[in-house]
Structure 1
């Protein structure tokens, strides 16, 4: 049987396919497309000039792509491939990666959502199987959600651009709209940027942190809620806000403050899992992993914190007010936090807040596994080990209102875990390895002599101290970057960020790991899994696809 050679030409309206084959008959499915004018059958043998004349006029007749159905054994396949390559025409020869300049994808299409899988010519059936498995694992209506969120993105861009232009140019807004209380407030450039980007950043948070099941369930009403969000940052409308009038404190109303652990849903405590299944309302921090959020029953309203730089306090206040409203309606409200609620999770602040509002006896606190201790474990770093580390210090890399906290001094037998530090890693490394301006007696940018002749006593960290960046611990996309304080900034800049993450510093980072000579850093991707069977514990720790960076 002669090979089928298809020439593809695309336009804005549709694709045009010329099928060149000299056979008297073709497959019935192909004949059906010919009959409906989807394919034009050119009954002759292929000639080189066909690829140069059957295309669009604006490309001087050159076609957009050539497809050849014969395999590598057909001499004509090699000839067509060579001709197309010489003329810069994309060509695909079936089962012949070496003769092809592009691969065909096995595609899944759901509205604007398109997913393609290719094995680069090594197995089209396998690609089809993988594509089906991926598509089957996705929640229904995800394509419709893409449409809704895409429309929200378009409208946000359009509305914020118009608002920014009107304010920046001194233009007048529609005078049919009532003036707000801040109409005459001085608008600075920083205010304009914040107003322009606030809703877009919130939409990005939704796409990044919401579980796919919840994204797929996004409704038109949810989209309108997104569009109205942060028109007033102090009192924003919210998706999932409890409705109804507040009532006197009901007998069963309470707040459960619980930690969701580092990421893997199997690391939840049984108490927290029960709370997830039975709560009337769940108020979750944005970094609670999707695997945990997927455990929430579909009937349970969920609100995910709208925290991003510059809005953390407002988002925190919003969640606390929603919790109080829920308790006063007699609901069991679960405040779901990442890790442990009392380890840099504002858990103590929330308890104090609820006490100030008369709910002290309505608060239940459930612990969680903190990433500060579990993330090193999942990376093969023993936080303590005899003759290596006899103490662990958990620090924050960012103080209140973004100010840097006092850096810890160097102790050779200490393991230090820094949370919330990767976004300012360069400054942190500088604070650990050099004396700060305060220690050097620098005030307002001018050096002044200190009142004492005693030099600073804080021991500085050697720049060759081993360290590790651990991101998304216990999640499928866990990543570990092993390096030293001298190279960690460069490593993060080159490899990028995958929050949430933390930094581990100290000799323990090399207690069970031998660094390769001549390597500046090593990247280890993937969490192999954690499966607990009835008779055995298969705790598969380690890394997949480890890569090393030369010095």
Structure 2
């Protein structure tokens, strides 16, 4: 089929549609027809249990037996859903003779209409068709769209449907009406529905409808967690925010794979902090958020991991609130959780660790504020978000606090990314191991008995690296390992 199909949405409310077949496929097609308000008529020797139930409830009509062309009289569409090719061809031929559209399941050549893959959000429907030639591609695209369109779109379409007559009366000119919709969709209205603030959303709509002059769009900021680097760990809400953003202010450690998910015409500005090299101060980040939001832009402040776990998200929300900028927060998978999982390390374990503590150790000042005696206690896991230069101090203070020098550690470098490395050892040789393997940021230190489990439970990338002389208990003895000098 080289010519594209003509797309349309059919109103089948109360209208009879013939379904030939009574098996599982016919059941799926009948269910879709019932959702659309159609009146299905089935022809089949027998029915599935669900179809029998719908027949008993009076929702469908059933003629027991085989297909006859006369059964097409008075119906609007016909679907052939049998496993018998002869029957399906007879249905298609009889429909063609009556100028009646027919769908033959899994046979594009016999069909005169196709049932597309559909994303439904209330009254909003997005249909995808490959013309019947590659249905798996249509289903794949549907799954992608499912991630981009949340339920709030159904609420928004419902509001605009209910208010359609008022909108047309207020803006009888089509051009004015189009500009009104553009302003409305660029306003905070979609965000308010996402936040389940229906009353505020309807008030905003009413205000927009009553205004006689165009008002500048109101900007907003979304603090979005990008996760540790693997684009597959980005949440659906984060993906939605990135696809709506006009401006993305992103950390240095947000991966290229994640940035490629963003809206193509968004302005991306790196605002990362680095112990060495170019670094953007927090006050400058605040100023950028404020300037772009006041210019009416939808701003995404994209952070590695989670905005509220050592991400200074609280400071940024306080700033936005103080300046009257609307905001929302999209949590992300924090590095400790993701890096541990991708290294095969359970952060808690009934035999080894009954608690886990997240610690930041990016500089000497942060080390001085920590309760090392408490951190040195056993039966807990430490997940230390680290600047790799402070390992000597970490070792010394933990050992001084009573932690055994033989406590296992794991350093996860580039956790969840293609270039991930995991280093195993004991607290006694922590800084030497990191130096010998030239560990670089981003890297997370996991310290506690559970860290040793990376040797047997690792599943992603190469087996963990160990210092010289340490036995390797890897499930994959062929994986390459590097020994410390």
TM-score (norm 1): 0.44
Q: Higher helix share goes to which structure?
A: 2
